[in-house]
Amino acid sequence: MVSTAATVKTLGERKVNWNGRSGGVNRRREPMAEREDIRSAWAEVLATASRTTADGLVVGTSGNVSARVGDLVLVTPSGIPYDRLGPGDVVAVDLAGRRVLGELPPTSELPMHLAVYRATDAGAVVHTHAVHATAVSTLVDELPPVHYLTGLLGGPVRVADYALYGTDELAANMLRALDGRSGCLLRNHGTVTYGAGLDQAYDRTAQLEWMCRLWLTASGVPGRVPSLLGPEQLAEAAEKLRGYGRSRG
């Protein structure tokens, strides 16, 4: 009886293993790429990446976009213009950075994207080299709160210390600057924002770039210093922004 049960169990395991292995690397990738959640998330990643170029937040292939689908992170590949990427070019990595889908190399800024997903509940991350935001990153340690939309990012936006692009050091500096915020500037480099989804992450980047342009415009008036919002005014605005969703006065 015992040996019969053991035989059945062994056969059962073998069957499971055989099925798993029979998928193989090549045959298992295709069904995953065909998953509807991955297909639609990848389409959104490409649309958002194209938007960063169209809206002038990045030039050429700089900047990158990612979205989380379960334990996978879909991320734009390195060095390929977004308009040349299609549905079949999906690049997915796990949270350790191992590529699980696609042939193209992930963005060199993968450490920053993964650091955000490991440390927060982010569903999407957008990184750009937006010109006004990058200019501000060279001037101050924190974007002065000139507008109540600062509340969208959790408070005054910090500038992360400089480190070489693509390094774990830069990712660590970024995480420190993101503490309690959903966006930060990277000194002499650009922006990082995250959100529940790509629309929110993108909107935060666009608002951050706009606020940087606003501050540069106001602070550039000779002999005048822009007025700033205080902590209570920012907290009040943040509360209202949360409560009213997209209504921003």
What amino acid positions are annotated as catalytic residues? 109
C-alpha 242: how far from chain center: 21
